[in-house]
Copies of this chain bind each other. A is one copy, B any other.
């Protein structure tokens, strides 16, 4: 039993592969139409799998969704952490680490636009159904940004006036919305364009003060 303990990886058994297919099918459908407008039959069909298989792999439509959330945010935080650590290893400043994380965030959204759409659409809902799951994964992701901000303040790279929590939220929002807008309404721009614009804001070079 439990041959799928490794979770996602390609090495996983048949089971893991099926779950992956279901994730991919569900994420695009739910991003397009929302959770409750998406039917289990549709998910199964797009995944090329029988409906019974969905219920063999997940207890319910709800649980499929919650595990999808955990799965996706796990990928994001891993990516952010890597970006921060690599900057660290190369002796970069904390501002450079934040810059690298912005880029990592953009790359993630570029690769998984559907997941990002779905996450944004659900995060601030007053709904009790999966809010606990969402709060946990959100905190996991935000904590990575907060940590780097705190380090920046300690080292004197960042103003000690800043409110770490609120600034973290603002930075995340900046990246999230700029990236989604880029994907939805300004497809012609390059990732570098978007990254430059955000980098300018982060480094305080928009209003050319002082």
**Which residues of A pack against B, CB within 8 Å?**
31-37, 95, 114, 117, 120-127, 135, 138, 152, 157-159, 161-163, 165-167, 169-178, 180-186, 189, 193-194, 196-198, 200-210
Closest chain-B Cβ to A78's Cβ sits at a distance in Å of: 21
Copies of this chain in the oligomer: 2
> Are B117's CB and A120's CB within 8 A?
no
Query: Assuming the A-B contacts A135-B185, A174-B170, A177-B173, are A159 and B127 also in contact, with contact meaning beta carbons closer than 8 angstroms in the complex?
Result: no
User: Which residues in B have their C-beta under 8 angstroms from that of A161?
Assistant: 200, 205
**CA–CA, A65 to B187, complex, Å?**
27
> Are A170's CB and B157's CB within 8 A?
no
Closest chain-B Cβ to A89's Cβ sits at a distance in Å of: 21
5 A–B contacts from the bound complex (CB under 8 Å): A121-B124, A159-B208, A165-B186, A167-B200, A173-B177
**Consensus secondary structure, chain A interface:** helix
4 shortest interchain CB distances as A-B pairs: A173-B177, A204-B204, A166-B197, A36-B37
Closest chain-B Cβ to A149's Cβ sits at a distance in Å of: 9
> Are B200's CB and A207's CB within 8 A?
no
Question: Which residue on B lies nearest to A167, using beta carbons?
Answer: B197
Known: A167-B201, A170-B178, A204-B205. 19 other contacts (CB 8 A): A32-B125, A33-B125, A34-B121, A34-B127, A95-B207, A114-B126, A120-B121, A121-B124, A123-B180, A135-B185, A166-B181, A169-B178, A170-B177, A170-B201, A171-B201, A172-B177, A174-B177, A176-B177, A204-B204
Most buried by B among A117, A125, A158, A202: A125
Closest chain-B Cβ to A107's Cβ sits at a distance in Å of: 16
